[in-house]
Amino acid sequence: MLILHLYNPETNDWQSGDLNLLQLPLHGDQKAWIDMSSASYAEQQQVLNRFQIHPVIAEDYLRERHPPKLEAYDGFTLLILRAFAGESFHEYPGHAQLSLLFSNQVLLYKCQLPEEAGHYKVQAFDVNRPVTPIKEWVKSYIHTVSASYLEKLINFEDELGEFEDAMLSHGDDHKMSRIMRFRSVFRKLDRNLAYQKDMFADLLTPDDGGAGVMSQFEPVELRDFYEKFERLHSMTQMYYDQLGDLVSSYMSTSSHQINERMKVLTMISAVFIPLTFIVGVYGMNFDHMPELHMPLGYYWTLAGMAVVALGMLLGFKIKRWW
């Protein structure tokens, strides 16, 4: 089911209904806002056919999963955006895809959410909202998409600081697994934001293909869009690198601790090797071993073993091995 809102400049109000309410071409200051989020594939095709959308543009708009894209043809501009649909970075349920196809008088809107992100909401169309140019609605959706990342990235900065303190004081494998999950989420965010940043960056030096898009937005607006997503992308990369540094620090610390334990075990083994040799010699069952008949032989042997052990420990201390 699709929802149509049609603005009538003569009565200065909005009429809501289905596609039967739409009479093309639109005249004067008439505006149409069509929500196709819940429309069937056939209904979406019907709308696109009525507006005579180019088949290539229509194909991209109809796809359920499509990388962010900005393209213009024959008075219409296609804008596909990806918003973060999770409640926080503790999980990544997927992204919300906003597909906007608009001209000076028409906005075809579609929002697709992953099943696990039922709490994510995009502001619904308000018929009481003052009438503004179509591009102002598009700008509000772009800001909504960037805000879906920005608020969570700012909040994550404090959480990351706590993570760093916790890993330095008492890091463990449980915290490591959480860090690895965060890195996985940020890797996906990095990909989505890189798409959108590059999409607007290409329009700052437009070629012939971008002329239609440039006619919809002022250069200063395009630069503002680019700077928003460039900052988000930079923050995502920074946090991803910081999480990687925590992993490296934890691995280095763990390796150092293991090396210290191995050093102690090695020194103990080194001390007992000559002592074991002495015990082995005097444990041999030969008939003629003069030391076996010495009254103080047992005590002299123990004393010699103690001297060897203490001498080796002293040597380790002089070499600063412990």
Residue 190, C-beta contacts closer than 8 angstroms, at least 6 positions apart: 233, 236, 237, 240
Give the rounded percent of residues in the chain with a pLDDT score beyond 90: 15
The mean pLDDT value of the chain amounts to 83
**Distance in angstroms (rounded) separating the CA atoms of residues 35 and 109:** 5
The helix (run of H) or strand (run of E) holding residue 315 is: helix 297-318
Note the pLDDT tens digit of each residue in 39-70: 889 989 998 998 899 999 999 999 988 889 88
Note the pLDDT tens digit of each residue in 191-208: 999 999 998 888 777 565
pTM of the model: 0.75
Could you tell me the fold of the domain covering 3-253? Beta Polymerase; domain 2 (3.30.460)
Among the listed residues 39, 107, 111, 54, the one whose alpha carbon sits nearest the alpha carbon of residue 81: 111
Provide mean pLDDT across the span 283-292: 78
Q: Output the pLDDT for position 120.
A: 61
Strand order in the sheet with 106-112: 13-17, 3-8, 31-35, 106-112, 95-102, 76-84, 69-73
Domain segments of the chain: what residues? 3-253, 259-318
Q: Output the pLDDT for position 58.
A: 92
Residue 85, C-beta contacts closer than 8 angstroms, at least 6 positions apart: 93, 94, 95, 96, 113, 114, 117, 120, 148
Tell me how long the chain is. 322
Among the listed residues 100, 2, 87, the one whose alpha carbon sits nearest the alpha carbon of residue 46: 2
Residue 285 has pLDDT above 80, yes or no: no
Higher pLDDT, 132 or 215: 132
Could you tell me the fold of the domain covering 259-318? Methane Monooxygenase Hydroxylase; Chain G, domain 1 (1.20.58)
Provide mean pLDDT across the span 12-27: 83
